[in-house]
Amino acid sequence: FLSLVAEFCCGFFVILILGNFWFLAVLYLLWLYLDWGTPCAGGRRSQWVRSWTVWKYFREYFPIHLIKTSELNPNHNYLLGFHPHGVLVAGAFGNFCTDPPFKNLFPGLTPYLHIMPIWFGCPFFREYIMSAGMVSASKESVSHVLNNKGGGHASVIVIGGAEESLNAHPGSLTLNILKRKGFVKMALKHGAHLVPVFSFGENELFKQVANPKGSWLRNVQEKLQKIMGFALPLFHARGVFQYSFGLIPYRQPIHTVVGSPIPVKQNLNPTTEEIDQLHALYLQKLKKLFEEHKSNYGIPAHKSLIFE
CA dist 91 and 82 (Å) reads 9
Assess contact for 89 and 208: CB atoms under 8 A. no
- Of 175, 155, 245, the closest CA to residue 206 belongs to 245
Do 95 and 160 sit in the same domain of this protein? yes
Give the range of the structural domain holding residue 11, as residue numbers without chain letter: 1-35
pLDDT tens digits in sequence order for the chain, 308 residues long = 565 566 566 666 666 676 777 777 788 889 999 999 999 999 999 999 999 999 999 999 999 999 999 999 999 999 999 999 999 899 999 999 999 999 999 999 999 999 999 889 888 889 999 999 999 999 999 999 999 999 999 999 999 988 899 999 999 999 999 999 999 999 999 999 999 999 999 999 999 999 999 999 999 988 888 877 777 888 889 988 888 888 899 999 999 999 999 999 999 999 999 999 999 999 999 999 999 999 999 999 999 999 99
Q: How many domains is the chain partitioned into structurally?
A: 2
Do 11 and 71 sit in the same domain of this protein? no
DSSP-assigned states of every residue in 204-265: GS-EE----TTSHHHHHHHHHHHHHSS----EE-B-SS-SSS-SBPP---EEEEE---B---
CA dist 39 and 75 (Å) reads 24
Do 23 and 46 sit in the same domain of this protein? no
Assess contact for 170 and 235: CB atoms under 8 A. no
DSSP-assigned states of every residue in 13-60: HHHHHHSTTHHHHHHHHHHHHHTTTGGGTT----HHHHT-HHHHHHHH
Do 231 and 298 sit in the same domain of this protein? yes
Do 14 and 50 sit in the same domain of this protein? no
Q: What is the CATH number of the domain that holds 234?
A: 3.40.1130
Residues near 110 by beta carbon (within 8 Å), at least 6 away in sequence: 133, 152, 153, 154
- Write down the pTM of the prediction: 0.92
